[in-house]
């Protein structure tokens, strides 16, 4: 399979709490403010709002307590779009793939390039990767 083109994301956290996170994301073309609730199984409340690029950059530069960078790829597999993140910096070498499902019991096929299910492993949450990056994990 040929590697698709990706999109660079810079994202930082204004709040990282077990019950909620507030994230700012900056892409090449826009900014986003996202609020996420606590995970219950594989479901999590999420509210996302587009914000001007200048404001996203100011929030990241002046209010972010932790941040990471990654390249996101969109890959179609068996009529599902997988978002595959290639992490950079202190998280280089880590790739995480995910899909949005209509329900928790929806059946789907795993691509051969997915090697481990990590949905409920909190160390893989982006907010936690800013605090305990992949480079610090024991082999």
3-state percent helix, strand, coil for the chain, nearest multiple of 5: 20, 45, 35
Report which of 136, 51, 57 is spatially closest to residue 91, judged by C-alpha positions: 136
Q: Which token pair is 101?
A: 């499902």
Q: Is 13 labeled as catalytic in the residue annotation?
A: yes
**Catalytic residue selected from 13, 73, 124, 125:** 13
Tokens of 85: 């993140």
Q: How many CB atoms lie within 10 A of CB 134?
A: 16
Look up residue 88 and give its DSSP letter. -
Could you list the active site residues?
13
């Amino acid at each position: 399979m040929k590697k698709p083109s990706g999109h660079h994301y810079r994202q930082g956290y204004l709040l990282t709490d077990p019950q909620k996170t507030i994230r700012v994301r900056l892409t090449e073309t826009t900014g986003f403010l996202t609020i996420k609730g606590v995970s219950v199984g594989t479901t999590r409340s999420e509210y996302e709002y587009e914000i001007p690029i200048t404001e996203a950059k100011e929030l990241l530069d002046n209010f972010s307590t932790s941040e990471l960078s990654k390249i996101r790829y969109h890959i179609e597999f068996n009529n599902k779009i997988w978002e595959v993140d290639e992490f950079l910096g202190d998280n280089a070498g880590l790739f995480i793939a995910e899909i949005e499902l209509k329900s928790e019991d929806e059946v789907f096929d795993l691509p051969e390039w997915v090697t481990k299910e990590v949905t409920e492993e909190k160390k893989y949450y982006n907010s936690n990767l800013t605090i305990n990056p992949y480079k610090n994990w024991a082999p």
